Amino acid sequence: MESGNMSSKERMLGAVNFQEIDYIPCCFMIFRALRSQCKDQYEFIDRQLELGLDVRVNLPEFTLRFHPDVTIKDWKEYRNGEKYPLLQREYQTPEGKLSAVVKQVEDWPFGDHLPLFDDYVTPRSEKFLITEKSDLKKLKYLLLSPSDEEIRLFREESKMLKKYASDRGLLICGGWNSWLSRKDDEIHGTDYGVQGIDTLMWLCGAESPLYWAYDKPDFLEELIEIIAVWNRKRMEIYLDEGIDVLTKRAWYESTEFWSPALYKRFIAPVLKKDVELTHQAGAKFGYIITSAVMPLLNEFIDTKIDIMIGVDPVQGKGTDLEVLKEKLTENICLWGGVSGPMTIEEGTENEVGNAVENAVNILSKNGGFILSPVDNVREDTELTWKNVKVFIGTWKDLRNNYI
């Protein structure tokens, strides 16, 4: 097929479907170094197109919505002899109180507030929000579906974004947004996307759910199901928009935390239902999981995910590109191939070029590959931008060679 005669959307979907395409697509998974220079998502899209990249258009995320009878109380306490104060938050629900406590260390980004969801919460927590079965009926008051007004505003913004995408022939995605134009939310945090075990880690920490898997499996299953039902209601709204790809964040669903047996019991059944719902709506399912995935490949095939987003050969904890490609060929499209932090932000030009060539050589065989740094290109430095130029230039040199 002649190079460049497909739209970016056609090329991306062709890669997902293992079809013949004009050349290997390159779409950055996250590109914070560029995003920070842009006033809105529209400029962010155009700047990526100027670089020659394939671009996906992300529909807006829904913020979290609490029951109107929920009240929130925040306060700060100092312990004698302790260097850092404790931030405390209490949610009063119609079924009783939920409370959480974090240590306010130097890098805490939310001032004197403790959000519900954010990666900063888990490692700094002194007390997590959910600790026992009686908390579950209270949690439901914090996980409400979007209101009619929120859905109306979502549809209005989505309509503009979808037209922008259609005019430019771009892929439309929903569920998780790499562009966040709003400021950090003191109430909720910064993570609103479609999610599963990530939510569990923010609400309960990394250790307790693993103990519950053995000691209180029924409790854990009930908690996971509450989160899953809440997520699917939001998924349905995205899918009603006719998106091309539904994206679910799953950074904490890997074997860095869960054994294959626990994954099979607690995570795979939820994932399978999510994928089925997505496929029923005619969309593809993208699964963001970037590390320690090799023992889970059979589960990925069984659940019928379409895209594994985040293939990292450096920080991926055992990721073997050749085995990954051999195992998943004709089943799951692989999105990634090069480390963002280690190669793009810190590597030499030769290392960047070699990494792109290695990824293309291995992962593009028989199709099903979208090139990207993983997870992110964050640093707005001279070295980063020099390496971004090498990354894109090498891709353009090689993208026709391995179809």
Report the distance separating Cα 154 and Cα 171, nearest Å: 18
Q: Compute the average pLDDT of residues 300-311.
A: 98
Q: Give the pLDDT band of residue 186 (cuts 50, 70, 90).
A: low
Q: Spelled out in words, what is the top-level CATH class assigned to the domain 8-63+145-398? A: alpha beta
In angstroms, the Cα distances linking 93 to 81, 211, 230, 267 are 34, 27, 17, 28
Q: Mean pLDDT, the chain, as a whole number?
A: 94
According to DSSP, the residues that pair with 338 across neighbouring strands are 373
**Section 91-99 average pLDDT:** 98
Tell me the three state secondary structure of residue 146: coil
- In the chain, the percentage of residues whose pLDDT exceeds 70 is 95
pLDDT of residue 180: 54
Q: What is the pLDDT of residue 313?
A: 96
Residues of the chain with CATH 3.20.20.210: 8-63+145-398
pLDDT value of position 391:
98
Amino acid at the residue 8 = S
Identify whether the C-beta of residue 344 lies closer than 8 Å to the C-beta of residue 382. no
Q: Cα separation of 65 and 353, whole Å?
A: 45
Cβ 53 vs Cβ 100: under 8 Å: no
| Band (183; pLDDT cuts 50, 70, 90) | very low
Give the CA distances from residue 113 to residues 73, 80, 104, 400, in Å, rounded to whole numbers and listed in that order: 10, 21, 9, 51
Taking CB atoms within 8 Å and a gap of at least 24, the contacts of 181-184 are: 181/40, 181/41, 184/109, 184/110, 184/115
For the segment 369-384, the average pLDDT, to the nearest whole number, is 96
pLDDT over 70 at 88, yes or no: yes
- Tell whether the model's pLDDT for residue 189 goes beyond 70: no
> What pLDDT is attached to residue 81?
83
For 337-367, b/e burial (b = at least 16 CB within 10 A) is bbbbbbbbbebeeebbbebbbebbebbbeeb
What angle, 0 to 180 degrees and rounded to 10, lies between the N-to-C axes of helices 321-328 and 349-363?
Answer: 30
